[in-house]
Amino acid sequence: MQENLFHEAMENAYLVQIEQFEGPLDLLLHLIKKNEVDIYNIPIAAITKQYLEYMELLKELNLDIAGEFLVMAATLLQIKSRMLLPVEREDEESEVEDPRAELVRRLLEYQRYREASSDLVVRNLLGRDVFARKFPSPELAEMEPEEEPADVQLFDLIEAFRKILSRVSVDTFHSVGADGISIADRISQVLSILHEAKTVCFDSLFTEEMTRDLLVVTFLSILELCKLKLIKIVQVESLGSIWLTAAATDDGAEAAGPDADDLELEGAFVG
Amino acid sequence: MSGKSLKAIVESLIFVHDHPLSLDRLALILEEYERADIRIALEDLMEDYAHSDRGVVLVQVGGGYQLRTRPEHADYIRRLNKTKGVKFSQSSLETLAIVAYRQPVTRAEIEYLRGVDSGGVLKSLLEKKLLKILGKKDVPGKPLIYGTSREFLELFDLKDLSSLPTLKEIQELAPPDPFADQPALPLAEEPPAA
């Protein structure tokens, strides 16, 4: 595993894929909720700015940005530019449609189905809440959780990291070599911290004196550890502080030996 | 005593069968009885179970009747089975909800609503038999149309599709749905079995 991690550093030295992403609509709803703005009157310039900031951050983290996110970015910019254009002759009956209308309709529709899906999951599920003499199908009986559900939303995690990054000034000099540390090394460090302390506050892993690169490496290490199911990330209450714990060790044998191919983490040298 | 009462016979049939048993099927099996009497027997049984302090209840689910445990006993049964039950990812749930409410629905419509590629999640839901292919849509490209299966109803404790909770209405404020002009079947009707 270690050898695999240390493949020669390529231009895109590391690539972490996040599966919890539900797409650009999810991100937009998150931004709207976070800013507490009216969905029927979205301040498009501000939301577009924040959306693009997230995209920038994802790019900086080398996270795989799905094409849909780029399409939405283009849509937002198009809406923004249409909002800036003067409205032609309003005296005529032909009402000029709000450029945001289509997007708002999609967001509301999407939100509606999200709510419907949360209504579904609280029902009395067969095999979870209620039981019959036989389970409907062997495929379902064997159905393992597809992925460990993240107790913390990815966006919350990125948001927390964004706050940390914003504390560091961007124009720090790029120090070569000094504290260059690979993700693999940082993963071991974080793991050993966790094995000692059991529970660690997310913020405490990022200290004042760390360089921007080290912050990014640390964040990527946390994502990778989460993906490998070696740690659990929890949040006590919504918007509360985020905590990391070492994953339960009873299924450690399974988690400890991930297939090297699954590890989209190669030659992870940064710094 | 009442060894041959219709109620007891119906109860034994439901007990033995491993899927919800429909009234139609019961009527077919119990040809010497009136359908109306079978229905009354079923209602009586449901009443009996609901009002007695027993571990199982008779419920209407997936178009039939089935004996199921009470949700408040789930924890004990999970100890016995050593399972936590199925868990869904957000993407599976979203897709299930969209198909459940919008069926018959194509992949393009699902992806338009979700804003992301949904091929993988559709495939996995088909494999788990929660969705099924209802046919092909009569539009260019003849895309497949998807609907939910009987297993979906059984899993989510739904009597039929019309017992899905109603979707919250959204205000009309934008151009109509680009798919609205394409014909859609009524929701409540279970399409004929393939």
- Residue A143 in this model has a pLDDT that exceeds 70: no
Give residues 45 to 104 of A whose Cβ lies within 8 Å of B. 66, 68, 72, 97, 101-102, 104
The 3-state DSSP class for residue A265 equals: strand
pLDDT for B95-152, tens place per residue? 999 999 999 999 999 999 999 889 999 999 999 899 999 999 888 888 999 999 999 9
* Mean pLDDT in residue range A166-195: 74
Residues 6+ apart with CB under 8 A from B133: B126, B144, B145, B146
Name the minimum distance, in Å, from the CA of A182 to any CA of chain B.
31
- Residue A149 in this model has a pLDDT that exceeds 90: no
pLDDT for A30-48, tens place per residue? 888 888 888 888 999 999 9
- Provide the whole-model pTM: 0.64
- B41's tokens: 């027997």
Interface with A, mutate which of B11, B78, B116 (most A CBs under 10 A)? B116
A167-175 long-range contacts (CB < 8 A, ≥24 apart) are: A167/A208, A168/A210, A168/A211, A168/A212, A168/A215, A170/A212, A172/A211, A172/A212, A175/A211, A175/A271
Q: Among residues B126, B42, B81, which one has the least CA distance to residue A132? A: B81
Specify the pLDDT at position A89. 59
Q: Tell whether A127 is within 8 A of chain B (Cβ).
A: yes
Chain A partners within 8 Å of B114 (Cβ):
22-23, 25, 110, 113
Q: Tell whether B127 is within 8 A of chain A (Cβ).
A: yes
Name the minimum distance, in Å, from the CA of A155 to any CA of chain B.
14
pLDDT for A57-100, tens place per residue? 877 776 667 788 888 999 999 999 988 887 665 555 556 678 88
Residues in chain B: 194
The 3-state DSSP class for residue B136 equals: strand
Q: Least CA distance to B72: which residue of chain A?
A: A129
Higher pLDDT, A152 or B28: B28
Question: Beta B56-61 vs A231-235: how paired, if at all?
Answer: unpaired
Distance, in Å, from the CA atom of A91 to the CA atom of A270, rounded to the nearest integer, reads 60
* CA A142 vs CA A146, A195, A213, B122, B155: distances in Å: 11, 32, 43, 18, 14
Its ipTM equals 0.76
Q: Number of A:B CB contacts under 8 A?
A: 164
- A3's tokens: 């050898």
